[in-house]
Amino acid sequence: MSKRMKSHRLPMTLLLSMLVLVIMISVTPSEIVASAPTQEAVIYTEPVDIGRPNRWAIIEVSGWGTITIELYENMTPVTTKNFIDLAQSGFYDGISFHRVIDDFVAQTGDPNTKNLNPYDDGSGGSGKTIPLEICPNATHVDGAVGMARSNEPDSASSQFYICDGPQHGLDDSERDGNGYAVFGIVVEGLDVAKAIAAANTYGPMRPLLKDHPVDDITMSKVYVIDQPIDENDTLEKEDEKEAKNTPFPAFGAMISIMAIIAIIRKKVRN
Protein backbone atom coordinates (compact mmCIF):
# COMPACT_ATOMS: atom_id res chain seq x y z
CA MET A 1 0.00 0.00 0.00
CA SER A 2 1.53 3.43 -1.02
CA LYS A 3 2.04 6.39 1.29
CA ARG A 4 -0.27 8.43 -0.99
CA MET A 5 -3.20 6.14 -0.26
CA LYS A 6 -2.49 6.24 3.48
CA SER A 7 -2.54 10.03 3.43
CA HIS A 8 -6.16 9.97 2.15
CA ARG A 9 -7.39 7.62 4.92
CA LEU A 10 -6.56 9.89 7.83
CA PRO A 11 -8.88 12.77 6.84
CA MET A 12 -11.70 10.29 6.16
CA THR A 13 -11.33 8.78 9.66
CA LEU A 14 -11.34 12.22 11.22
CA LEU A 15 -14.41 13.18 9.22
CA LEU A 16 -16.35 10.13 10.40
CA SER A 17 -15.35 10.76 14.01
CA MET A 18 -16.51 14.36 13.80
CA LEU A 19 -19.82 13.28 12.27
CA VAL A 20 -20.48 10.82 15.12
CA LEU A 21 -19.61 13.51 17.66
CA VAL A 22 -22.04 15.98 16.09
CA ILE A 23 -24.85 13.39 16.17
CA MET A 24 -24.19 12.57 19.83
CA ILE A 25 -24.22 16.24 20.80
CA SER A 26 -27.43 16.94 18.88
CA VAL A 27 -29.39 14.18 20.70
CA THR A 28 -30.52 15.49 24.11
CA PRO A 29 -30.97 13.26 27.18
CA SER A 30 -34.73 13.81 27.09
CA GLU A 31 -34.90 12.47 23.56
CA ILE A 32 -32.95 9.40 24.59
CA VAL A 33 -35.40 8.74 27.42
CA ALA A 34 -38.38 9.34 25.17
CA SER A 35 -37.11 6.85 22.63
CA ALA A 36 -36.63 4.15 25.28
CA PRO A 37 -39.43 1.56 25.58
CA THR A 38 -41.97 2.47 28.25
CA GLN A 39 -43.48 0.15 30.88
CA GLU A 40 -46.83 0.20 32.64
CA ALA A 41 -46.54 1.99 35.98
CA VAL A 42 -47.70 0.26 39.14
CA ILE A 43 -48.12 2.22 42.35
CA TYR A 44 -46.97 0.21 45.36
CA THR A 45 -48.18 1.69 48.64
CA GLU A 46 -47.77 1.04 52.35
CA PRO A 47 -50.35 1.77 55.08
CA VAL A 48 -50.17 5.33 56.42
CA ASP A 49 -51.87 7.23 59.23
CA ILE A 50 -54.35 9.59 57.58
CA GLY A 51 -55.34 11.13 60.91
CA ARG A 52 -58.90 9.77 60.90
CA PRO A 53 -60.77 6.50 60.34
CA ASN A 54 -61.32 5.29 56.79
CA ARG A 55 -64.67 6.30 55.34
CA TRP A 56 -67.45 3.87 54.50
CA ALA A 57 -69.32 3.38 51.22
CA ILE A 58 -73.00 2.48 51.53
CA ILE A 59 -74.46 0.50 48.62
CA GLU A 60 -78.24 0.17 48.62
CA VAL A 61 -79.32 -2.67 46.30
CA SER A 62 -82.98 -2.61 45.34
CA GLY A 63 -84.82 -5.61 46.75
CA TRP A 64 -81.67 -7.18 48.15
CA GLY A 65 -80.42 -5.06 51.03
CA THR A 66 -77.48 -2.86 51.91
CA ILE A 67 -73.74 -3.50 51.63
CA THR A 68 -71.34 -1.39 53.70
CA ILE A 69 -67.72 -1.17 52.61
CA GLU A 70 -64.75 0.26 54.46
CA LEU A 71 -62.66 2.14 51.91
CA TYR A 72 -58.92 1.65 52.39
CA GLU A 73 -58.01 5.33 52.13
CA ASN A 74 -54.98 4.64 54.32
CA MET A 75 -53.63 2.05 51.86
CA THR A 76 -54.95 2.89 48.38
CA PRO A 77 -55.49 6.67 48.22
CA VAL A 78 -55.60 6.93 44.41
CA THR A 79 -58.14 4.14 43.96
CA THR A 80 -60.38 5.18 46.84
CA LYS A 81 -60.41 8.80 45.68
CA ASN A 82 -61.57 7.65 42.24
CA PHE A 83 -64.39 5.59 43.80
CA ILE A 84 -65.42 8.33 46.24
CA ASP A 85 -65.52 10.97 43.48
CA LEU A 86 -67.75 8.74 41.35
CA ALA A 87 -70.04 7.87 44.27
CA GLN A 88 -70.41 11.48 45.39
CA SER A 89 -71.26 12.55 41.83
CA GLY A 90 -74.12 10.00 41.69
CA PHE A 91 -72.36 8.01 38.96
CA TYR A 92 -73.13 4.60 40.48
CA ASP A 93 -76.80 5.27 41.20
CA GLY A 94 -78.96 3.06 38.96
CA ILE A 95 -76.11 0.82 37.76
CA SER A 96 -76.69 -2.96 37.94
CA PHE A 97 -74.51 -5.97 38.66
CA HIS A 98 -73.56 -7.44 35.30
CA ARG A 99 -71.32 -10.37 36.27
CA VAL A 100 -72.01 -12.76 39.14
CA ILE A 101 -70.22 -16.03 39.84
CA ASP A 102 -71.04 -18.05 42.92
CA ASP A 103 -68.02 -18.56 45.22
CA PHE A 104 -66.04 -16.04 43.17
CA VAL A 105 -67.25 -12.44 42.68
CA ALA A 106 -70.19 -10.09 42.21
CA GLN A 107 -69.17 -7.36 39.74
CA THR A 108 -70.78 -4.00 38.97
CA GLY A 109 -69.99 -0.37 38.14
CA ASP A 110 -70.58 -0.35 34.37
CA PRO A 111 -72.91 2.46 33.19
CA ASN A 112 -73.74 0.37 30.09
CA THR A 113 -76.12 -1.63 32.29
CA LYS A 114 -78.53 1.29 32.01
CA ASN A 115 -79.00 1.04 28.24
CA LEU A 116 -81.14 -2.14 28.18
CA ASN A 117 -78.56 -3.95 26.00
CA PRO A 118 -76.97 -6.68 28.13
CA TYR A 119 -74.50 -7.62 25.40
CA ASP A 120 -72.30 -4.57 26.01
CA ASP A 121 -72.39 -4.86 29.78
CA GLY A 122 -68.88 -5.08 31.16
CA SER A 123 -67.27 -2.95 28.47
CA GLY A 124 -68.06 0.51 29.85
CA GLY A 125 -66.50 2.87 32.36
CA SER A 126 -66.43 6.45 33.55
CA GLY A 127 -64.29 7.76 30.72
CA LYS A 128 -61.29 8.03 33.03
CA THR A 129 -58.75 5.38 33.99
CA ILE A 130 -56.44 5.14 37.00
CA PRO A 131 -53.08 3.45 37.54
CA LEU A 132 -52.87 0.04 39.14
CA GLU A 133 -52.37 0.64 42.87
CA ILE A 134 -51.23 -2.28 45.01
CA CYS A 135 -50.87 -2.39 48.79
CA PRO A 136 -49.45 -5.69 50.09
CA ASN A 137 -51.67 -5.42 53.18
CA ALA A 138 -54.82 -5.27 51.05
CA THR A 139 -55.42 -8.78 49.74
CA HIS A 140 -58.36 -10.74 48.34
CA VAL A 141 -59.85 -12.04 51.57
CA ASP A 142 -63.52 -12.94 51.83
CA GLY A 143 -65.50 -9.73 51.24
CA ALA A 144 -62.59 -7.82 49.72
CA VAL A 145 -63.52 -5.16 47.16
CA GLY A 146 -61.29 -4.71 44.12
CA MET A 147 -61.10 -2.80 40.85
CA ALA A 148 -61.99 -4.66 37.66
CA ARG A 149 -59.85 -3.93 34.61
CA SER A 150 -58.73 -5.30 31.24
CA ASN A 151 -55.39 -7.03 30.61
CA GLU A 152 -53.77 -3.58 30.71
CA PRO A 153 -52.75 -2.87 34.33
CA ASP A 154 -53.67 0.82 34.18
CA SER A 155 -57.13 0.37 32.66
CA ALA A 156 -59.33 0.36 35.78
CA SER A 157 -62.12 2.94 35.63
CA SER A 158 -65.41 2.49 37.50
CA GLN A 159 -66.12 -1.23 37.59
CA PHE A 160 -65.48 -3.07 40.84
CA TYR A 161 -66.14 -6.48 42.34
CA ILE A 162 -66.84 -8.00 45.74
CA CYS A 163 -65.16 -11.32 46.59
CA ASP A 164 -67.39 -14.23 47.51
CA GLY A 165 -64.84 -16.16 49.55
CA PRO A 166 -61.05 -15.64 49.57
CA GLN A 167 -59.64 -15.13 46.05
CA HIS A 168 -55.91 -14.85 46.67
CA GLY A 169 -55.20 -16.00 43.12
CA LEU A 170 -55.97 -12.39 42.16
CA ASP A 171 -53.33 -10.97 44.54
CA ASP A 172 -50.34 -9.17 43.12
CA SER A 173 -47.98 -11.58 44.87
CA GLU A 174 -49.60 -14.52 43.07
CA ARG A 175 -49.55 -12.94 39.61
CA ASP A 176 -45.94 -11.78 39.24
CA GLY A 177 -46.74 -8.11 39.73
CA ASN A 178 -49.87 -8.21 37.55
CA GLY A 179 -52.53 -8.54 40.23
CA TYR A 180 -55.72 -6.63 40.94
CA ALA A 181 -56.12 -3.64 43.25
CA VAL A 182 -58.06 -4.26 46.47
CA PHE A 183 -59.33 -0.97 47.88
CA GLY A 184 -61.89 -1.98 50.50
CA ILE A 185 -63.61 -4.64 52.56
CA VAL A 186 -67.27 -5.40 53.30
CA VAL A 187 -67.96 -4.65 56.98
CA GLU A 188 -71.74 -5.16 56.88
CA GLY A 189 -74.02 -6.95 54.43
CA LEU A 190 -71.61 -9.62 53.22
CA ASP A 191 -74.57 -12.01 53.16
CA VAL A 192 -76.21 -9.67 50.64
CA ALA A 193 -73.11 -9.66 48.43
CA LYS A 194 -72.87 -13.45 48.59
CA ALA A 195 -76.53 -13.82 47.68
CA ILE A 196 -75.98 -11.58 44.65
CA ALA A 197 -72.96 -13.64 43.58
CA ALA A 198 -75.18 -16.73 43.69
CA ALA A 199 -78.00 -15.12 41.69
CA ASN A 200 -79.54 -16.93 38.73
CA THR A 201 -77.64 -16.31 35.45
CA TYR A 202 -78.28 -17.11 31.80
CA GLY A 203 -75.62 -19.83 31.89
CA PRO A 204 -74.66 -21.98 28.87
CA MET A 205 -78.00 -21.40 27.13
CA ARG A 206 -76.73 -17.91 26.21
CA PRO A 207 -72.91 -18.19 26.21
CA LEU A 208 -72.28 -14.45 25.69
CA LEU A 209 -74.34 -13.78 28.82
CA LYS A 210 -73.19 -16.83 30.76
CA ASP A 211 -72.46 -14.93 34.00
CA HIS A 212 -75.03 -12.18 33.52
CA PRO A 213 -77.93 -12.13 36.02
CA VAL A 214 -81.28 -12.96 34.49
CA ASP A 215 -83.02 -10.34 36.65
CA ASP A 216 -81.75 -6.82 37.21
CA ILE A 217 -79.81 -6.35 40.44
CA THR A 218 -79.54 -2.59 40.69
CA MET A 219 -77.64 -0.28 43.02
CA SER A 220 -80.30 2.33 43.72
CA LYS A 221 -77.93 4.51 45.75
CA VAL A 222 -74.21 4.58 46.50
CA TYR A 223 -72.84 7.17 48.90
CA VAL A 224 -69.91 7.72 51.27
CA ILE A 225 -70.07 8.51 54.99
CA ASP A 226 -67.70 8.91 57.92
CA GLN A 227 -67.53 5.87 60.15
CA PRO A 228 -70.24 6.06 62.83
CA ILE A 229 -69.01 6.85 66.33
CA ASP A 230 -69.32 3.96 68.78
CA GLU A 231 -71.00 5.54 71.84
CA ASN A 232 -69.77 2.82 74.21
CA ASP A 233 -66.23 3.25 72.96
CA THR A 234 -66.55 7.03 73.38
CA LEU A 235 -67.80 6.67 76.98
CA GLU A 236 -64.91 4.35 77.84
CA LYS A 237 -62.43 6.86 76.43
CA GLU A 238 -64.06 9.68 78.43
CA ASP A 239 -63.82 7.61 81.62
CA GLU A 240 -60.16 6.91 80.92
CA LYS A 241 -59.55 10.59 80.28
CA GLU A 242 -61.31 11.61 83.51
CA ALA A 243 -59.37 9.07 85.54
CA LYS A 244 -56.13 10.29 84.00
CA ASN A 245 -56.95 13.92 84.81
CA THR A 246 -57.87 13.14 88.46
CA PRO A 247 -54.78 14.02 90.56
CA PHE A 248 -53.46 11.10 92.56
CA PRO A 249 -56.69 9.06 92.76
CA ALA A 250 -55.00 6.28 94.75
CA PHE A 251 -53.53 8.81 97.18
CA GLY A 252 -56.95 10.40 97.70
CA ALA A 253 -58.51 7.01 98.49
CA MET A 254 -55.73 6.30 101.00
CA ILE A 255 -56.34 9.61 102.80
CA SER A 256 -60.06 8.79 103.06
CA ILE A 257 -59.36 5.37 104.55
CA MET A 258 -56.90 6.85 107.09
CA ALA A 259 -59.46 9.46 108.10
CA ILE A 260 -62.09 6.76 108.71
CA ILE A 261 -59.64 4.73 110.80
CA ALA A 262 -58.78 7.82 112.90
CA ILE A 263 -62.48 8.48 113.60
CA ILE A 264 -63.06 4.86 114.66
CA ARG A 265 -60.04 4.94 117.03
CA LYS A 266 -61.25 8.18 118.59
CA LYS A 267 -64.68 6.72 119.28
CA VAL A 268 -63.15 3.58 120.81
CA ARG A 269 -61.00 5.65 123.21
CA ASN A 270 -63.96 7.69 124.32
- Whether residue 41 is contained in a domain is answered as no
Per-residue pLDDT of the chain (270 residues; tens, 9 = 90+): 433 334 444 455 445 444 444 333 333 333 222 223 334 579 999 999 999 999 999 999 999 999 999 999 999 999 999 999 999 999 999 999 999 999 999 999 999 999 999 999 999 999 999 999 999 999 999 999 999 999 999 999 999 999 999 999 999 999 988 999 999 999 999 999 999 999 999 999 999 999 999 999 999 999 999 999 876 755 565 556 555 554 545 545 566 566 666 666 666 565
Q: Does 178 lie in the same domain as 238?
A: no
Q: What single string gives the DSSP state of each residue in 115-154?
A: TT-GGGTTS---S--B-EEE-TT----TTEEEE---SSGG
- Whether residue 44 is contained in a domain is answered as no
Q: Does 185 lie in the same domain as 61?
A: yes
Nearest to 96 by CA among 202, 188, 214: 214
Radius of gyration of the chain (CA): 33
192 to 13, 131, 187: CA distances (angstroms): 79, 30, 12
- How many structural domains does the chain have? 2
**Core vs surface per residue 59-76: b (16+ CB within 10 A) or e:** bbbeebeebbbbbbbbbb
Side chain identity at residue 63, one-letter code: G
Q: Does 176 lie in the same domain as 130?
A: yes
Which range marks the domain in which residue 242 is found?
231-260
Q: Does 112 lie in the same domain as 195?
A: yes
- pTM as predicted: 0.73
